[in-house]
Amino acid sequence: MDAALPPPHVVDTSACTGEIHDQGAQVTRWAPRGAAPALYVSSAVRLAPGRSIRAGIPVCWPWFGAGQRPGMEPAHGFARTARWALVDRTEDAATGEVTFVHRLTSDAATSAHFPQPYAVELRSRFGATLEVSLTTTNTGPEPFEIDEALHTYLAVGDVREIAVEGLDGAAYFDKVTGTEKVHHGILEFAGETDSVFRSSGPVMLHDPGLERRLIVRTEGAGNLVIWNPWDAKAREVADIGDDDWSQFVCIEAANVLENAVTLAPGESHTLTYRLELESDD
């Protein structure tokens, strides 16, 4: 059995329900009041110290995927499995909004692959909309470079039936084929998809199965990464339930490849993800 992860911080207000873990400063649930959950939680999710949580919004930092050099581990950087410190929690009684601030510093989590001093703050605002901002500050004497992503798992009725609007004309790197492409029209899904768009949105996800639309807006992002492993690949990915692959799509706000962020000493950068849900009725 897995060792226990401390329980998440829970939000239950007039505006929404939600939860966030100190591990990874990871939002795992959000639903506006009266609506179904907007974020996917794997039916095979494992909540254990040091294990990435297959749900919600993993924070990928300070590298993405396998990183820029061979041997960089863990995948997607160490922030998503590190224990962050909760430094603030505020609630606005009038709006029902709850805001958490989590912090990770080089004193708390270090890596041979990223020895530079830093402070990272994750501000999550749970309300009628969800807003998550990741701010990186270089607290050391030398410049450094980071990749980053707010790797959001969106819950969908059936990925084969959804349509994503807002990427017409966008260039992207197709990680499945390893080629550069340009997308035209609406984005629909018919197989494994792992695309790094050179676009920051906004995009609208039309979901006829769940009779709703999800609107993603970003700030400070050079890329949107869109991922679904499809059936065969999903079986190779840890902690995804056998029949889960059709029930999510990741639309991630990111700065990767040529959009990696370089920070001079004392400099900060913020990456923001806003999610809104509109029901059809």
Ligand X SMILES: O=P(O)(O)OC[C@H]1O[C@H](O)[C@H](O)[C@@H](O)[C@@H]1O
Q: Which residues bind ligand X (CB under 6 A)?
A: 52, 65, 75-76, 175, 194, 225, 227, 237, 250
Comparing CB distances to ligand X, the nearer of 130 and 149 is: 149
Active site residue 131: no
> From CA 49, how far away is CA 32, in angstroms rounded?
29
Active site residue 97: no
Whole-Å CA distances, 30 to 8, 178, 182, 206, 281: 13, 34, 33, 18, 20
Least Cβ distance, residue 64 to ligand X (angstroms): 7
Catalytic residue chosen out of the listed positions 145, 151, 192, 258 = 151
Least Cβ distance, residue 58 to ligand X (angstroms): 7
Comparing CB distances to ligand X, the nearer of 15 and 47 is: 47
Catalytic residue chosen out of the listed positions 252, 267, 276, 278 = 252
> From CA 19, how far away is CA 32, in angstroms rounded?
12
3-class secondary structure, 230: helix
Closest by CA to 162, choosing from 29, 251, 281, is 251
Q: What is the DSSP letter of 7?
A: P
> From CA 279, how far away is CA 213, in angstroms rounded?
6
Comparing CB distances to ligand X, the nearer of 52 and 246 is: 52
Comparing CB distances to ligand X, the nearer of 64 and 126 is: 64
Question: Which residues belong to the active site?
Answer: 151, 252
